[in-house]
Chain A
Amino acid sequence: MPRLDNAQALTDLRESLKNSFQERRAREISITVGMGTCGQAAGAGDTYQALERELAGRGVTVNLRTVGCIGMCVKEPLVDIQLPGAPRVTYANVRPAQVPRLIEEHVLNGQAVTEWTLGFVPDEW
C-alpha cells in the first residue's frame, strides 16, 4: 500500500478505487455473506463453507466476500448474490442445503430463486 502524503492523494485513491470496484462489478459475480458474530451464531459459517464447496465443485469463480451485520438478525444467515451489472439480491435464512440450488439457478442460469429472496440492495446504499 502506498502511503498517502496529502489529502489529494486520498481523493485520487478514492477515485481509482471507485473505478476499479465498478469495473469489477461489471465483470465479476459477487457473493456476500453476513459474517458478523450474529450471522455466525445463526450458522453463516456453515453456509459460507457450503458456498465454497459448491463453487469449487462446479469450478465457478466468484468474488466471495464477507461483510458485517446489516441489521436483520431474524433473517440471518444472509447471502447476497450480484451478477455482473445486476442488483445485489439478498437471500434470507440461507442454510447449506439451499446453496446448490442458489448456485445452479441464480449464479449459473441468472434466475433468482424468488421464494427465498428478501429484496435487493439499492445502488445508493
Chain B
Amino acid sequence: METDVAVINPQMPSYSELPFYSKQVRIALKNCGIIDPEDIDEYIARDGYQALAKALTEMEPDDVIATMKDSGLRGRGGAGFSTGIKWEFCRRSRNTPKYVICNADEGDPGAFMDRSILEGDPHSLLEGMTIAAYAIGAEHGYVYCRAEYPLAIAHLKTAIAQAEEYGLLGKYILGTEFCFYLHIKEGAGAFVCGEETALMASIEGRRGEPRPRPPFPAVSGLWHKPSNVNNVKSYAMAPQIVLNGADWFSGIGAPKSPGTAIFALTGNINRTGLIEVPMGIPLREIIYDIGGGIPDGKPFKAVQTGGPLGGCLPASALDTPVDFDSLVQAGATMGSGGMIVVDEDTCMVEFARYFLTFASAESCGKCVPCRIGGQRLLECLTRITDGNGLPEDLEEIEYISRNMREASLCALGQLTPGPVMAALRFFKEEYEAHIYEKKCPAKVCKGLITFSVIEEKCEGCMVCLRNCSSDAITGSKRMPHTIDIERCSRCGICATVCKFDAIRIE
C-alpha cells in the first residue's frame, strides 16, 4: 500500500499526519465517515456487534456493569455521572419491566455531535443500547430523537430493520433467550425535552415538562418503571469498552475523566469540525493545533463550552485541561460537546444575551424561577446592550441568577444563568463599559455605536450610499459622504461594502 501512495503523490499526508486529526483519538467516531451507515455489513466487518456477542455469551449482566464501572466512563450528556453506577442502580431496582432510553434530543445551538453519530454510525448506538438492556434487564428501549434530524431518524430506522433481520435486535438475539426491541420516538424539538424527566414525559405522550427528582429514573422512570437514560455518545462508547476491556478505556484520557470527549468545534476558528480528543487535553491544543487558531490572525477572546447552559472561558484559561472537573473548576462546564470559539470582535454581553434569549425562550414555564427569572435576566441584559444599563443591574443579575440556580426545578432553569455569570466573572469590565461609559468595546451593540464617514479616506464612490438599508447616507460623486445618525439603523452594511476603510465605528 505504501508504494501506491508514493505513486499517486509522495507528499500526500495520511489523515493521521494532518494537524486536524493527529491529536484525535477516535472511539465513538471510529466508523463515522468511514463506513456506509446504511449497510450493516460494513459495521459487522469492522467488528460490529462483537461486543454484544461477547456480553451475551461470555458475560453475566453483572460482569458488564462491573466492566462499565471499572472503565470509569462518565455520562457524555454533560452531567458526567458514572455510566456503570447508573446501570447498576437500574439493574437493582425490583420493579419491572425496565426501559433503556437514549437521549438524542440534541438541541444546543452549534452542536452536532450526536447527530453525526446517528447519521454516520447508527449501529454503534444500537449495539450500545442492546448491551445496556442486557446489563439492566430491559426488553424495550427508546431513542428519543428530534424530528429536525430527518436523516438521523432515517438511518436509525434502516439500522434497526437490518439489525432485526440478522437477529441482532428483537427476539432471541444471537440465539439466546435475550430479547430487546428498540423504538424511535420523534420529539418536536423542545429544548427542555433533553432533560430526562421531561423526555420521558414526552415519550409517554404528555407535555414535555420536568418533574422533581428523586425519584430518579433508575427507580421510577418511563411509566413509573425503572429506566436508564444515557446520551448517544455514552451508548456508542459502550461496545468499545466491552470489546477492549475497562483497562483499555481507563488508560485513555484523564484519571478522573477517562476516555475521550467529543466536541463540535465552531465559531471564529479556522477548522470547524467534529473532533474526538482524549480527556485532559489542554483547551489551547484543541483551539490552535486541531482547530488551526482564529481566522485572520485575530486574537482569541473566549471559548464557550456546554452550549447555552455552559459558560465561557477567557484566554487566561487556555491551558485548562478539558475534562469534567477541570472545566467546572475553571468556571465552565463540559456539557454535551458544543465548543464555540470567539475572537475580539465579539461583545461578551451580547454573546451572553444570545444564549440567554435561547434558554429563556426554551423554558417550559412549569417552575417560576426559570419562567420569570429567565425573562427578567434577559430584560436586564437587553437594557445593558441597548445602552440603558443601570449601575444596579449587575447586582440584579447576580441576585436573579443565584435564585434561578437554587430554586429551578431542572437543569435548564438552574443553568440558564451560567453563560451570563461566566461572562460577568471573566469580562466584567465589558459589562461596566456598557453601563458606565455607554460603550461597547467590541463595537457590536447597536445602541452604543455610531457610524460616521472619515472624510480624508472617502473617495465618494457612492457604494455605501446605494447599499444603505435606511437611506441615511447622503453625498455626491467624488465628494465625501455623510451619515445621518438619526436615520442610521446601525446595520453596518456601509462598513462592509466600503473599499477604502472610510467608515468609522465608535
Contact = CB atoms under 8 A, between A and B. Distances in A.
Interface of A: 1-7, 9-11, 13-14, 17-18, 21, 34, 36-38, 40, 65-74, 78, 85-87, 89-90, 110-112, 114, 117-123, 125
23 contacts: A3-B165, A6-B57, A7-B54, A9-B174, A14-B47, A17-B42, A21-B45, A38-B112, A67-B37, A68-B32, A68-B121, A71-B29, A71-B275, A72-B20, A74-B270, A74-B272, A86-B1, A111-B8, A114-B12, A119-B12, A120-B14, A121-B14, A121-B34
A65 B8 contact: no
A71 to B, nearest CB: 4
Which secondary structure dominates chain A's binding surface? mixed
Interface in B135-181: 149, 151-152, 155, 162, 165-168, 174-175
A71 B32 contact: yes
B44 A17 contact: yes
B32 A7 contact: no
B88 interface: no
A16 to B, nearest CB: 9
Contacts of A36: 33, 115-116, 119-120, 151
A97 B9 CA distance: 23
A38 to B, nearest CB: 7
Contacts of A4: 166-168, 174-175
Contacts of B149: 37
Nearest to A67: B33
Interface in B242-290: 270-276
B12 A1 contact: no
A68 B37 contact: yes
Residue among A11, A36, A78 facing the most chain B CB atoms (10 A cut-off): A36
Contacts of B34: 67, 70, 121, 125
Given A68-B155, A87-B8, A90-B15, 16 more contacts: A4-B167, A10-B49, A10-B168, A36-B119, A37-B152, A68-B116, A68-B119, A69-B274, A70-B34, A71-B275, A73-B272, A78-B33, A86-B4, A110-B8, A120-B14, A125-B26
A116 B373 CA distance: 52
B33 A69 contact: yes
A6 B271 contact: no
A121 B15 contact: yes
A67 B44 contact: no
Nearest to B17: A119
A21 B42 CA distance: 8
Nearest to A111: B8
A67 B36 contact: yes
B35 A72 contact: no
B13 interface: yes
B329 interface: no
Given A10-B50, A17-B44, A69-B274, A5 B116 contact: no
B18 A6 contact: no
B119 A11 contact: no
Contact of A112 (B8, B116, B152): B8
B205 to A, nearest CB: 28
A74 B33 contact: no
Nearest to B8: A112
B53 interface: yes
Contact of A69 (B32, B35, B53, B162): B32
B44 A86 contact: no
A34 B29 CA distance: 14
Nearest to A87: B5
Contacts of B316: none
B57 A37 contact: no
A14 B46 CA distance: 8
A90 B47 CA distance: 24
A78 B32 CA distance: 13
Interface string B19-45: 011001010010011111110011011
A110 to B, nearest CB: 8
B4 A71 contact: no
A14 B24 CA distance: 27
Nearest to A37: B151
A119 B4 contact: no
Given A14-B47, A66-B36, A73-B274, A7 B56 contact: yes
A121 to B, nearest CB: 6
B9 A117 contact: yes
Nearest to B290: A71
A112 B8 CA distance: 6
Interface in B47-90: 47-50, 53-54, 56-57
A36 B34 CA distance: 12
Contacts of B165: 1, 3
B53 A72 contact: no
Interface in B407-442: none
B125 to A, nearest CB: 12
A125 to B, nearest CB: 6
Contacts of A69: 32-33, 112, 116, 119-120, 274
Contacts of B119: 36-37, 68-69
Contacts of A1: 162, 165-166
Contacts of B152: 37
B44 A119 contact: no
Contact of A120 (B5, B20, B44, B166): B5
Contacts of A11: 50, 53
